Structures are given as C-alpha cells and as structure tokens.
C-alpha cells in the first residue's frame, strides 16, 4: 500500500479523551474513530489488524474441532424468555421493538440462540460431541464504557458453545478450548494466564478467565510468577487425546482474580519471591455450565440407554476487538505501537527519504514491486514530506521492520534496516537487507 493513497488519518497530538496508551495509539495511528460512547468505526489499518487477530483465533478454534457458523446480531426476546435471562440481564441489554411491536434485542451473547439451533437438529448421543462457534459483533450497554475498544458497548467477540452427552465428555470439550486458548494467545504474541474466575450472568460451576498482565487492566489479580516462563502447548497437540495433564499443569499453580482470591491459599502455596499481585486484562473467558440452558431450552438427546437427557454445555468467549487494545498495552514504547509479527498490519514499512529524487523514487518503486511480488505486505511511504515526519509516523504505526532509502545510501549501495522492537539500525546492501526479511 502506498501511503500517499492510503486512508490513514494519524494524529500528532494525544487525544484528550483517551486515558490509556492503547486507546491513545489506536486513535493516533488512525486505526479507529469513535462514533459515540463505546462504539467505534474501524479504519483500514485497524480493520487489517482486527482481521489478522480474528483469523488466528479462527484457525485455532478449527484446529481444536470447533465448527464456524454465523448467528445474527439481532435476536427475538422470546428466546431469552425461555431461559429466564430476558429479565435477569437488566439494563446491559439493548432492547428493541420492531414495527409489529415484537420485542427484539441486540445480542450480548448467544447461549440461547445456539442452543435452540442445536435442539432443533440433534436428537441422538451419536451426533455428539459438537462445538459451534461464531465471530460476531455483540452489544452490552456498559455503565462505564471506557479505554477505547477495551470496554466498548459494541464489540467483536468469538463465542463457542460445546454440546456433550455427560459431564465427563463436557469436561473434555472444556479442556480442548482451554488448550486452544493457550495456543491462540501465544500465537498473538501474548502471555495469557488462566485464572479461576466467577461465572457472573453466564452461570455455571467451572470457569477460567484468561488474563494478560498490564498495569492498565481492570481486574486485580494474584498469581505465581512461574506462569511467565511456562511453555505453551505446541501446534501438534493432539486434540483427540487426553488434555487433562496440560490443563492440570496450567491450573496447579496459583492464579486468581480478586473475586476468587483467598489470601491464605495464595500465601500458603506461593513462595514470597514468586508472588505477583498486579493488574490484568481479561481477553478470554470459558465456562462450563452443564444443563443450565439445555433444560429450559429443550436441548435433549437420546442416550445409549434410550433415555432422553439434557445435553451438557460450555461456552467459550474471546474478546477479539479488546485484544487489539491488550496487545498494544503489552507491546509499545513512548514512540508508538510495536506490533508482534503475527498481527502486524504490514510486515515492513518502506520509507523513501526524498520522494522528489528520481533515483530514490525508482529504487523504492522497484523494491515495492518486489515486496508485492513476493507476498510481503509492505506499507510504502512515498509521500513528499519531511524525513522526521515519516520516521515519527512509522514508529507510531509500529510495523516490525522499517527499510529506509535515501540518496546518500543509494550512492554507497546501502539501505538502512530498522527493527522496531529492538530499535537496532543496520546499514546493509539491498540483498543483505532483503535476505534479513526472508527474501
């Protein structure tokens, strides 16, 4: 993409309404714009990262055996009357009346709808297990929307729902999601810690929140520092095998949010020099709730003895849009964002220091074509502006690599390659620089 043609409205000044760094940088780097409180438009670069995050989540859900569907954002209230949550959900639910006077709502989550779909289609234990997920916008009329996409009113969520014949099978489904979450967050360049959690309005008896440690997080958390070094399950993890040992390994050391924190357990099980009391961002939340929805919604199947039994269920959420904020909170410096390679909007920023110089423009245009031909996503700053402004914008945007081409370097047959994360700059021949970028 040529920057001269790109819709990238960067801001020089910090927007006053943004209290935390991720919100400031998302606005300044031209990723999002607020439509109204807690509701955002996604501009090209923001959307590009959102799609990359979404795709990694999708790949890991598929790998773990979940199947993608897409349910609507608008749901009939009657569905929620069946489960009893229409009244329970309170003011967080955005309620709408259609032209026929029927009560509708903008879905804050989809347990009811997916259970209804399942109940109408599956009648036998032979069709189990099933795990259906979608990645869809949700609406919760939060009392205090804040921190940009971190606590929005409209936000993008991945929600998966598992259906099993009994508790044991359902626990195995829970474990598959648990392991896939460890892999997902690892791929996103994050260390997420599974913590025993409260189940809130979703309900159930077993629940973990996946939390990224960050000073700006909304939750207070207590955990063992060994979590920071633990190796995540590898890509070849066998989802058809017994995952309990992995789950046990990740839940045997102490980690709890403040709602579940017990001082004696924390201090009794974690040596003093390994105790971490800090703040965290909840990026995922998984729940096992047995028959809480299947019974009222009529999701029954015949078991192997010919008895009609309610299915055991779990639900598994990831805050897709929140993750962009969380990644930036975890990876930035005073100049801007530092994108992990896996989600970077572009792999390399090509900076032409002198757009009016013919030799420079020619060298950069050639390089840009080379990148495009090789499938390397490149953002090409071909604008006729000052070098200083170009460097500032490129640092703010936070692409992993910057390749700088100027008239002096060209004469000497070298380009400058900067690693955004380490700040390291090297003067290299073009060939050496390209080979460093894997070309």
Summarize as ranges the residues that interact with ligand 5CA (CB under 6 A): 109, 111, 140, 142, 151-152, 155, 157, 159, 202, 282-285, 287, 315-317, 319, 321-322
| DSSP per-residue letters across 222-247 | EEEGGGGGPPPPPTT--TTS--HHHH
CB of 326 to ligand 5CA, least distance (A): 8
- According to DSSP, the residues that pair with 137 across neighbouring strands are 156
Nearer to ligand 5CA, 187 or 322 (CB): 322
CB of 35 to ligand 5CA, least distance (A): 15
Nearer to ligand 5CA, 99 or 144 (CB): 144
Instruction: Work out whether the CA dihedral 129, 135, 138, 142 comes out positive or negative.
Output: positive
Q: Which residue has the tokens 């979940």?
A: 66
DSSP H or E run through 156 = strand 154-164
Between the CA of residue 201 and those of 104, 111, 114, 122, what are the distances in Å? 19, 11, 17, 26
- Specify burial of residue 101 (Cβ count, 10 A radius: 0-12, 13-18, 19+): exposed
Strand locations in 261-413 (E):
275-290, 300-302, 308-310, 312-319, 332-333, 336-337, 348-352, 378-381, 401-405
- According to DSSP, the residues that pair with 194 across neighbouring strands are 210
The CA distance from 372 to 274, in Å, is: 48
CB of 163 to ligand 5CA, least distance (A): 14
Using the 8-state DSSP alphabet, how is residue 203 labeled?
-
Q: Do you find a cis peptide bond into 129, omega within 30 degrees of 0?
A: yes
Q: Which residue has the tokens 């690892």?
A: 186
Instruction: Work out whether the CA dihedral 162, 189, 17, 48 comes out positive or negative.
Output: negative
With b for 16 or more beta-carbon neighbours within 10 A and e for fewer, the 104-140 pattern comes to ebbbbbbbbbbbbbbbeebeebeebbbbbbbbbebbb
Nearer to ligand 5CA, 142 or 416 (CB): 142
Q: Which residue has the tokens 């690599």?
A: 401
Nearer to ligand 5CA, 30 or 194 (CB): 194
Nearer to ligand 5CA, 213 or 414 (CB): 213
CB of 253 to ligand 5CA, least distance (A): 21
Q: Which residue has the tokens 């890991």?
A: 60
Nearer to ligand 5CA, 9 or 203 (CB): 203
CB of 64 to ligand 5CA, least distance (A): 15
CB of 259 to ligand 5CA, least distance (A): 13
Nearer to ligand 5CA, 66 or 119 (CB): 66
The CA distance from 25 to 336, in Å, is: 6
Nearer to ligand 5CA, 151 or 224 (CB): 151
CB of 148 to ligand 5CA, least distance (A): 10
Nearer to ligand 5CA, 157 or 343 (CB): 157
* Residue with smallest beta-carbon separation from ligand 5CA: 319
CB of 18 to ligand 5CA, least distance (A): 16
Q: Which phi and psi angles does 299 have, rounded to 5°?
A: -90, 85
What tokens appear for 234 in the block? 């590898």
What tokens appear for 273 in the block? 């020099």
Nearer to ligand 5CA, 24 or 285 (CB): 285
CB of 133 to ligand 5CA, least distance (A): 8
CB of 184 to ligand 5CA, least distance (A): 12
Nearer to ligand 5CA, 197 or 338 (CB): 197
CB of 269 to ligand 5CA, least distance (A): 25
């Amino acid at each position: 993409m040529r920057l001269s043609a790109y819709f990238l409205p960067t801001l020089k000044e910090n927007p006053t309404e943004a209290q935390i760094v991720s919100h400031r940088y998302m606005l300044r780097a031209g990723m999002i714009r607020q439509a109204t409180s807690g509701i955002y438009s996604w501009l090209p670069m923001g959307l590009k990262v959102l799609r990359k995050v979404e795709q990694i989540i999708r790949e890991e859900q598929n790998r773990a055996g979940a199947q993608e569907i897409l349910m609507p954002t608008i749901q009939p209230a009657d569905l929620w009357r069946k489960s009893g949550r229409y009244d329970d959900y309170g003011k967080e639910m955005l309620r709408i009346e259609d032209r026929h006077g029927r009560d509708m709502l903008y879905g804050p989550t989809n347990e009811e709808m997916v259970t209804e779909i399942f109940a109408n289609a599956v009648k036998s234990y032979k069709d189990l297990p099933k795990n259906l997920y979608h990645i869809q916008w949700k609406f919760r009329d939060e009392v205090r929307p804040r921190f940009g996409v971190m606590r929005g009113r409209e936000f993008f969520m991945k929600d998966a729902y598992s259906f099993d014949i009994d508790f044991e099978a359902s626990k195995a489904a829970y474990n598959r999601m648990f392991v896939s979450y460890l892999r997902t967050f690892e791929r996103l360049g994050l260390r997420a810690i599974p913590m025993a959690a409260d189940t809130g309005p979703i309900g159930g008896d077993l629940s973990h929140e996946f939390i990224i440690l960050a000073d700006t997080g909304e939750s207070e958390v207590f955990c063992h520092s060994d979590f920071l070094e633990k190796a995540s399950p590898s890509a070849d993890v066998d989802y058809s095998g017994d995952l309990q040992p992995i789950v046990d390994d990740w839940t045997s050391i102490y980690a709890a949010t403040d709602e579940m924190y017990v001082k004696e357990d924390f201090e009794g099980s974690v040596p003093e020099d390994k105790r971490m009391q800090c703040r965290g961002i909840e990026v995922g939340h998984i729940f096992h709730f047995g028959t809480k929805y299947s019974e009222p919604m009529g999701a029954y199947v015949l078991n192997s003895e010919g008895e009609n039994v309610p299915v055991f269920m779990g639900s598994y959420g990831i805050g897709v849009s929140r993750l962009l904020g969380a990644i930036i909170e975890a990876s930035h410096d005073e100049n801007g964002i530092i994108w992990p390679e896996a989600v970077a909007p572009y792999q390399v920023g090509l900076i032409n220091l002198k757009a009016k110089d013919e030799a420079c423009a020619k060298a950069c245009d050639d390089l840009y074509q080379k990148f495009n031909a090789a499938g390397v996503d490149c953002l090409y700053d071909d604008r006729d502006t000052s070098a200083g402004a170009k460097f500032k914008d490129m640092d703010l945007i936070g692409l992993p690599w910057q390749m700088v081409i100027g008239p002096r370097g060209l004469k000497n047959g070298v380009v400058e390659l900067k690693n955004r994360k380490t700040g390291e700059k090297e003067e290299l021949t073009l060939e050496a620089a390209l080979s460093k970028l894997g070309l």
